[in-house]
């Protein structure tokens, strides 16, 4: 009888231990799934990073939207370290930043470079902070694509193209570039350049006659850019955070919050790099991109 009771007790002990272990595992999973930044008390400054070439606006726009909606985040610093990128994604980030004016202060902080599209995204911010040696500017547009006619002739390969209009296959690397191709592409580049120039005029409150001589693709140091009116303040990333906190009237040292990182596998990383490399080889889309030829 005693053995039977002891067996029953042991069984309940093991069941209890199993339940406790199960609840512990569930608690751990839940704790990792919660955005821990939400648990920090106090008013915060959110950091949105623009790193590298701009091929997509999805991540930056999503992070700006999330920080705009959070009541605990009182200001945003747009940390820029980019030589530019595709036109449309650049403009989407710029327009999103502009919509936050009057809602939350957004300060641009330039790292090593904010050129072309990188500088364009900063123009929507209330203030632009850059280091003395940051590379700023490259106000301009570029379009390039390969012409492989001579190579194809050497290997004895040719392509037959059926098209509905004379310039429907503009940028096709298998044929020579025509005068009409150049005229159409130049027209597009000129209009995009006009849009960029107007964004600088508006964002920096400068006269068009001042901006036009600077909009030839030239780059400037942070010190030069300050003198030319292209940025507001010489300072570090930390200085930009302090400025954002002051504009948001945050008392004391502000807490800094970064967006929750999205996990990606090795295959995603490799495919992403391959996509960007291929895009740079066969880019027929105009881009706000600074090219530093070594």
- Known catalytic residues are 116, 168
Nearest to 112 by CA among 236, 243, 231, 232: 236
Nearest to 261 by CA among 62, 90, 68: 62
Nearest to 241 by CA among 38, 44, 41: 44
- What is the residue-wise DSSP string for 212-267? GGG-SS-EEEHHHHHHHTS-SEE--HHHHHHHHHHHTT--SSPEEE-PPPPP--HH
- C-alpha to C-alpha distance for 220 and 181, rounded to whole angstroms: 32
> What burial letters (b/e) apply to 18-52, b meaning 16+ CB within 10 Å?
eeeeeeeeeeeeeeeeeeebeeeeebbbbbbbbee
- C-alpha to C-alpha distance for 223 and 290, rounded to whole angstroms: 19
- Token digits of residue 253: 């040292």
- C-alpha to C-alpha distance for 31 and 269, rounded to whole angstroms: 27
Distance of CA 144 to the CA centre of its chain: 22
Residue 260 · residue 35 · CB < 8 Å:
yes
Angle at the Cα of 149 from the Cα atoms of 145 and 150, rounded to 5 degrees: 120
């Amino acid at each position: 009888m005693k053995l039977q009771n002891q067996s029953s007790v042991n069984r309940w002990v093991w069941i209890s231990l199993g339940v406790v272990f199960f609840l512990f595992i569930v608690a751990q999973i839940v704790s990792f799934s919660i955005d821990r930044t939400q648990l920090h008390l106090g008013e915060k400054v959110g950091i949105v990073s623009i790193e590298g070439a701009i091929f997509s606006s999805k991540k930056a726009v999503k992070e700006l939207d999330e920080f705009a909606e959070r009541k605990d985040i009182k200001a945003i610093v747009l940390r820029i370290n980019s030589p530019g990128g595709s036109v449309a994604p650049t403009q989407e980030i710029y327009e999103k930043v502009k919509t936050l004016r009057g809602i939350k202060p957004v300060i641009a902080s330039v790292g090593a470079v904010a050129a072309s599209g990188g500088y364009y995204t900063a123009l929507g911010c209330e203030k632009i902070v850059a280091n003395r040696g940051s590379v700023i500017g490259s106000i301009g547009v570029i379009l390039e694509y390969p012409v492989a006619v001579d190579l194809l002739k050497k290997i004895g390969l040719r392509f037959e193209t059926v098209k509905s209009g004379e310039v429907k296959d503009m940028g096709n690397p298998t044929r020579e570039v025509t005068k009409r191709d150049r005229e159409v592409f130049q027209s597009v580049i000129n209009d995009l350049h006009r849009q960029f120039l107007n964004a600088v005029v508006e964002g920096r409150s400068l006269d068009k006659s001042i901006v036009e001589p600077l909009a030839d693709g030239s780059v400037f140091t942070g010190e030069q850019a300050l003198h030319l009116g292209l940025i507001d303040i010489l300072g570090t990333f930390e200085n930009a955070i302090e400025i954002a906190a002051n504009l948001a009237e945050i008392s004391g040292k502000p807490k800094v919050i970064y967006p929750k990182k999205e996990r990606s596998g090795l295959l995603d990383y490799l495919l992403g790099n391959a996509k960007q490399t291929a895009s740079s080889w066969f880019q027929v889309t105009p881009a706000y991109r600074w090219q530093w030829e070594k």
